[in-house]
Structure 1
Amino acid sequence: MYRKAIAAVAAALLAWSAPLWSQARAEYPDRPIKIICTYAAGGGGDLMVRWYANGLRELIGKPVTVENKVGANGHLGNQTAMDARPDGYTMIITGASAWVGNPLLMKGIDYDPMTALAPVTTLNELGLILVVNPKLPIHSVADLTAFIKAKSGKALYGVQTSSALVATNLYLQKIGAEATRVAYKSAGDAAADTAAGLIDFYFPDATLAMAQAAQGRVRMLASTPAKRVSVAPDLPTMQEAGVPDFDYSVVWAAWFPTGTPEPIIHKMHDWLVQIVERPDTKKFLFEAGADQRPSSSPEEMAAVISREYGKWRQIVQAAKIEKE
């Protein structure tokens, strides 16, 4: 008798709670959504995240806040996202490079980029530009390749980010040559030393490269993505310049904590894609040196991240880059 009563109560509770769960999902979100930003307030990365946050706020008519978690090449923010409740109210928007690169390059960081967070959508991609000291007689990638090989490992290249490190090593592996790395804290410092002739080449982002080139401080040779970057349509790609199968860009994307309900993930995917595809977003990204790159589904984003991780792992292993 008691068992029947308990079973009846359990069934009633289940019948009562199921519609509430469905209703809660239908009403999502019913409170503010927080987006974690791994970049310092006021910088280019922060402005990018806030663009998407503002777009989401306008689209859904609900509060969306941005929380800056800066440090350890983005890992502080990444870890905050990994530790958050998987309820759809904490999301992270950041570059995929640090997400896939940190476990390969940094001591004490060991997570699987394929499972530690739940993919939502890719957003945009930011190409890098190969630049050289303008005083050198180098006017093409072929010229630079010959220069590097003639220097027998003594050509100097600047590295200001993990993305630049990987792009440079991909180039060196493709041409079968070696060069000497010089580490910098910022792309601006690397640009100054390139202009002064203290280093020979490096890979800054498109906006910085164009600004420095306009001042005659660097000479641009090629862009890193497979397609020409929209902000510099006359600049050849590395592939067009003679480096076969060279394709590299910094992909920006959004993730939820692992375990977030699939309906919420897909709903957020659709909202963010709407924002990415807006004409004003295209203009904003163009001015930032980036291009739109929304994924068709969270599953497609997962495939993109898998390829990125595989590419980084192959480059890091081939270059024998040690964790630091």
Structure 2
Amino acid sequence: MKILKLAAALTVMLAATTTAWSADKYPERAIRLVVPFPAGSTTDTMARFLSDQVRADLGQTLVVENKAGAQGSIAAAEVSRATPDGYTLLVGTNSTQSANIHLFKKLSYDPAKDFTAITQFSMNPLVLVVRPDLPVTNLREFLDYAKSQPGQLNYGVGNTGSLAAVQMLKSITGIDAMDIQYAGTPQAITDLIAGRLDFMITDISVTKPYIEAGKLRALGVTPIKTTSALPGVPTLAEAGLTGYEFVAWGGLFAPAGTDPVIVDRINKAFVKALNSPQAAEFFSKQGLEPTPRTPADFADYVTAQTDMWGKLLADAGQPKK
């Protein structure tokens, strides 16, 4: 019996030693970054940029994989079940980590228990855009037009940021419009430009080229302050919606149980990249704000955001699906 107990103890010690050794050697092969939205989305573009920036620091290739659908739940569920060894990570957002728990009656992962926060990437201001032939040129005209046709206008939803931002607009103004769900924002933008949708509140980074080309019309941005990415476009609060303020966010997560040594290694590499001049230029052009955090700070932020999203969606009258 003593021999068996000794053997068991040695096995545990060997496993712990092996894990520590593996963590110290991390990374020894390519790392997967699973993005919960399609190629061309803001989250995807940001993930690919940062992957290139940290490659030299980590000494390994980072492979970005898009797993779109169900407001990011498909990707998040996959990563939640992955081996917690640092080689499969989630580029999570307010959708996957804070909003979905309040949107779905049954969620195939637990945002709080199944993940370890690594670092925030960005704060993402949004913009209200309309199809170019909609007969409005500013927010007041848009609201008057929408109220004159209750229930007749439609809008695209590619992520929960878009959903909540429009729900807030509807709650404040009383307009009635129908949502059309998409796997991601790029597909919705395509339909908006083609005239199959009337409006959206969505990421500046994916709409800016079309706004500048005259294919979409911007009526207002969602932060409390104007953004240099869209000079001349007022905030929605400035345009008449007193108190309106909304931003989305994105960041990096590992499966729960990932060794803290590995989490710290990844955090340092991405924080360094986020603080670089290259990142400052990239994020500015995208209309984003780099927001690096420690794992502990990011975990606290996500917890607070989850509470905020619960209140926001409840106040907007958004039912669970």
The normalised TM-score by structure 2 is 0.82
Q: Which digits, 9 at most, give the CA deviation of each residue in 1:59-93, with x for residues without a partner?
A: 12124333333333322211111001122222111
Aligned counterparts of 1:14 and 1:214: Cα–Cα separation in 2? 61
Work out whether residues 226 and 237 of structure 1, in 8 Å CA contact, stay in contact via their aligned partners in 2: yes
Aligned counterparts of 2:144 and 2:40: Cα–Cα separation in 1? 41
| SS in structure 1 of the partner of residue 202 of structure 2 | coil
Residue 158 of structure 1 corresponds to which residue in structure 2?
A: 155
Residue 310 of structure 1 corresponds to which residue in structure 2?
A: 307
Aligned counterparts of 1:41 and 1:208: Cα–Cα separation in 2? 11
Task: Give, as a single letter, the amino acid of the residue that structure 2 aligns with 1:249.
Answer: V
Of 133-142 and 210-219, the range deviating more from structure 2: 133-142
Give matches, 1:29-40, under 5 Å: 29-40=27-38
Residue 195 of structure 2 corresponds to which residue in structure 1?
A: 193
What is the Cα deviation at residue 256 of structure 1? 0.5
| SS in structure 1 of the partner of residue 175 of structure 2 | coil
Task: Give, as a single letter, the amino acid of the residue that structure 1 aligns with 2:99.
Answer: G
Q: Which digits, 9 at most, give the CA deviation of each residue in 1:23-73, with x for residues without a partner?
A: 443332233322222334566543432222222221121243333333333
Aligned counterparts of 1:243 and 1:281: Cα–Cα separation in 2? 32
Task: Give, as a single letter, the amino acid of the residue that structure 2 aligns with 1:151.
Answer: S
What is the Cα deviation at residue 242 of structure 1? 3.7
The structure 2 residue matched to 1:299, chosen from 296, 300, 313, is 296
Q: Which digits, 9 at most, give the CA deviation of each residue in 1:150-181, with x for residues without a partner?
A: 53744624123232221111122233x13121
Aligned counterparts of 1:56 and 1:207: Cα–Cα separation in 2? 22
Seen in structure 2, the aligned counterparts of structure 1 residues 87 and 151 have a Cα distance that, compared at 3 Å, is same
Work out whether residues 40 and 206 of structure 2, in 8 Å CA contact, stay in contact via their aligned partners in 1: no
Work out whether residues 239 and 245 of structure 1, in 8 Å CA contact, stay in contact via their aligned partners in 2: yes
Residue 241 of structure 1 corresponds to which residue in structure 2?
A: 239
**Is residue 2:94 matched to residue 1:102?**
no
| SS in structure 1 of the partner of residue 195 of structure 2 | helix
Seen in structure 2, the aligned counterparts of structure 1 residues 7 and 113 have a Cα distance that, compared at 3 Å, is closer
| Consecutive unaligned residues in structure 1, runs of 5 or more | none
Work out whether residues 27 and 59 of structure 2, in 8 Å CA contact, stay in contact via their aligned partners in 1: no
Seen in structure 2, the aligned counterparts of structure 1 residues 155 and 81 have a Cα distance that, compared at 3 Å, is same
Seen in structure 2, the aligned counterparts of structure 1 residues 171 and 304 have a Cα distance that, compared at 3 Å, is farther
The number of residues matched between the two structures is 315
Aligned counterparts of 1:323 and 1:305: Cα–Cα separation in 2? 20
| SS in structure 1 of the partner of residue 224 of structure 2 | coil
What is the Cα deviation at residue 121 of structure 1? 0.9
Give matches, 1:52-201, under 5 Å: 52-106=50-104, 108-109=106-107, 111-132=109-130, 138-148=136-146, 150-151=147-148, 153-154=150-151, 156-161=153-158, 162-175=160-173, 177-183=174-180, 185=182, 186-193=188-195, 199=198, 201=199
Task: Give, as a single letter, the amino acid of the residue that structure 1 aligns with 2:317.
Answer: K
RMSD over aligned Cα atoms? 3.2
Aligned counterparts of 1:68 and 1:212: Cα–Cα separation in 2? 23
| SS in structure 2 of the partner of residue 250 of structure 1 | strand
What is the Cα deviation at residue 10 of structure 1? 7.3
Task: Give, as a single letter, the amino acid of the residue that structure 2 aligns with 1:246.
Answer: Y
What is the Cα deviation at residue 239 of structure 1? 3.0
Work out whether residues 156 and 200 of structure 2, in 8 Å CA contact, stay in contact via their aligned partners in 1: yes
Aligned counterparts of 2:108 and 2:6: Cα–Cα separation in 1? 47
The normalised TM-score by structure 1 is 0.81
Work out whether residues 164 and 202 of structure 1, in 8 Å CA contact, stay in contact via their aligned partners in 2: yes
Seen in structure 2, the aligned counterparts of structure 1 residues 152 and 288 have a Cα distance that, compared at 3 Å, is same
Aligned counterparts of 1:312 and 1:115: Cα–Cα separation in 2? 18
Task: Give, as a single letter, the amino acid of the residue that structure 1 aligns with 2:190.
Answer: G
Work out whether residues 119 and 302 of structure 1, in 8 Å CA contact, stay in contact via their aligned partners in 2: yes
| SS in structure 2 of the partner of residue 125 of structure 1 | strand
